[in-house]
């Protein structure tokens, strides 16, 4: 492992108030999103959509890295130019999702364990040779009656740490994503407790597995009330609860925390990230950034709808969303910018 190279890659990913664009939906997830809009669920439709994303003019002004899926990293533009070349030529760093998905966890009804460690070293070598310089692994933690269990939290944290160790050995910056799912009715307080416990466990494991914290990225959920919780709260309350939780659990050596969006609307995800930076940026040890999938892609996907004639308008929407999130990193986002 060359620690300095990992640190340099991480610095490049954080620089210029840019963020990450997650476009690593697995085929089933991508198909589900296409199906909702009546877009054909074919390899060619997925390729066409990903071409739209990676050829968006000016994307590199606000996006430093894109996270790809195994199918996508092997695909090319219609004219034959590999996506990896298009991305790298645009000055964006290619990343790759390397877990093989969250599966039912034995002995733990309602909970999941993320798989993909077997053979991972060889897959990472291949991805590095293809040009990837960072990777992503997502653990999912469900909240409910009697869950999450310690067994689920610990097994997922250990898998994240073993993945991160292999990434660093192979020269890829690990994006460590322990996602507490926010799609039900629990309160902000409950999600705050669970997120803190999960993060503390993850960092214990990262320490045990000898991870260089300066050469990694944490990708957590924001601390929110559940999407269907009757008690919603103001943007500033989400900002305060999220930062309080992170300050308790994330070591200062971690250079950047890049949030997932987790089903929030695009506008709320930007506004909440912005509020954290407005209120706390000058006092925090790590940068607060974004690594959104839905909150950055959704408007573009809805405009595109699988139609060639809509490509330019969809690219403009994607460019705009990326710019708004860059403004949120700076604490300069305003709701009025949504309409410009
Ligand atoms: P969302 O921003 O849509 O939550 O996705 C982020 C991600 O990469 C999920 O793994």
Task: Write out pLDDT tens, residues 239-265.
Answer: 999 999 999 999 999 999 999 999 999
51 pLDDT more than 80: yes
166 ligand 1 Cβ < 6 A = no
Task: Write out pLDDT tens, residues 92-146.
Answer: 999 999 999 999 999 999 999 999 999 999 999 999 999 999 999 999 999 999 9
Q: Is the pTM of this model over 0.85?
A: yes
198 ligand 1 Cβ < 6 A = no
| pLDDT number for residue 302 | 98
- Pick the closest to residue 327 from 246, 241, 267 (CA basis): 267
Q: How far is the CA of 34 from the centre of ligand 1 (A)?
A: 16
Q: What whole-number distance in Å separates Cα of residue 11 and Cα of residue 256?
A: 9
Pocket test for ligand 1, best of 139, 291, 298, 322 (most atoms within 8 A of CB): 291
Task: Write out pLDDT tens, residues 187-236.
Answer: 999 999 999 999 999 999 999 999 999 999 999 999 999 999 999 999 99
Q: Can you give the residue ranges of every domain in the chain?
A: 3-339
11 pLDDT more than 90: yes
Q: Tally the C-alpha atoms within 13 A of residue 89's C-alpha that lie toward its C-beta.
A: 10
H/E element, 256 = strand 256-259
Average pLDDT over residues 153-168: 98
339 falls in which pLDDT band (50, 70, 90)? Answer: confident
Task: Write out pLDDT tens, residues 298-322.
Answer: 999 999 999 999 999 999 999 999 9
Mean per-residue pLDDT of the chain: 97
Report the share of the chain in percent with pLDDT over 90.
98
Catalytic residue numbers read 177, 219
1 pLDDT more than 90: no
Q: How far is the CA of 196 from the centre of ligand 1 (A)?
A: 19
168 ligand 1 Cβ < 6 A = no
183 pLDDT more than 90: no
Q: What whole-number distance in Å separates Cα of residue 262 and Cα of residue 88?
A: 27
Q: What residues pair up with 179 in beta bridges, in sequence order?
A: 140
219 ligand 1 Cβ < 6 A = no
Residue nearest to atom 10 of ligand 1 (CA): 138
DSSP 220: P
- Architecture field, domain 3-339: Alpha-Beta Barrel (3.20)
Q: What whole-number distance in Å separates Cα of residue 96 and Cα of residue 133?
A: 8
Residues 114 and 162: beta-carbon distance below 8 Å? no
**Residue 11 in tokens:** 């610095």
Average pLDDT over residues 85-90: 98
Q: How far is the CA of 154 from the centre of ligand 1 (A)?
A: 22
| pLDDT number for residue 340 | 77
């Amino acid at each position: 492992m060359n620690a300095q190279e990992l640190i340099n890659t991480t610095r490049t990913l954080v620089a210029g108030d840019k963020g990450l664009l997650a476009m690593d939906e697995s085929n089933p997830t991508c198909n589900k999103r296409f199906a909702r809009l009546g877009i054909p669920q074919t390899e060619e439709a997925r390729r066409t959509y990903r071409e739209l994303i990676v050829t968006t003019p000016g994307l590199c002004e606000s996006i430093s890295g894109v996270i790809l899926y195994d199918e996508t990293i092997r695909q090319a533009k219609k004219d034959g130019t590999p996506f990896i070349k298009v991305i790298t030529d645009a000055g964006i760093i290619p990343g790759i999702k390397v877990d093989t998905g969250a599966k039912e966890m034995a002995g733990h009804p309602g909970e999941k364990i993320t798989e993909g460690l077997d053979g991972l070293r060889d897959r990472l070598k291949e991805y590095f040779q293809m040009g990837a310089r960072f990777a992503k692994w997502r653990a999912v933690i469900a909240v409910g009656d009697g869950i999450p269990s310690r067994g689920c939290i610990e097994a997922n944290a250990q898998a994240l740490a073993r993945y991160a160790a292999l990434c660093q050995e192979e020269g890829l910056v690990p994006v460590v994503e322990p996602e507490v799912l926010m799609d039900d009715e629990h309160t902000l307080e409950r999600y705050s407790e669970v997120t803190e416990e999960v993060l503390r466990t993850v960092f214990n494991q990262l320490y045990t597995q000898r991870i260089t914290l300066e050469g990694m990225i944490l990708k957590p959920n924001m601390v929110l009330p559940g999407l269907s919780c009757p008690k919603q709260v103001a943007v500033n309350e989400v900002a305060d609860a999220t930062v309080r939780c992170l300050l308790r659990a994330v070591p200062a050596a971690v250079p950047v925390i890049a949030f997932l969006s987790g089903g929030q609307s695009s506008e709320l995800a930007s506004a909440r990230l912005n509020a954290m930076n407005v209120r706390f940026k000058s006092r925090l040890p790590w940068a607060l950034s974004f690594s959104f999938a839905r909150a950055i892609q959704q408007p573009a996907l809805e405009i595109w709808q699988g139609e060639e004639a809509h490509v330019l308008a969809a690219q403009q929407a994607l460019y705009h969303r990326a710019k708004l999130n860059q403004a949120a990193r700076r604490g300069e986002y305003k709701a009025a910018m949504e309409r410009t």
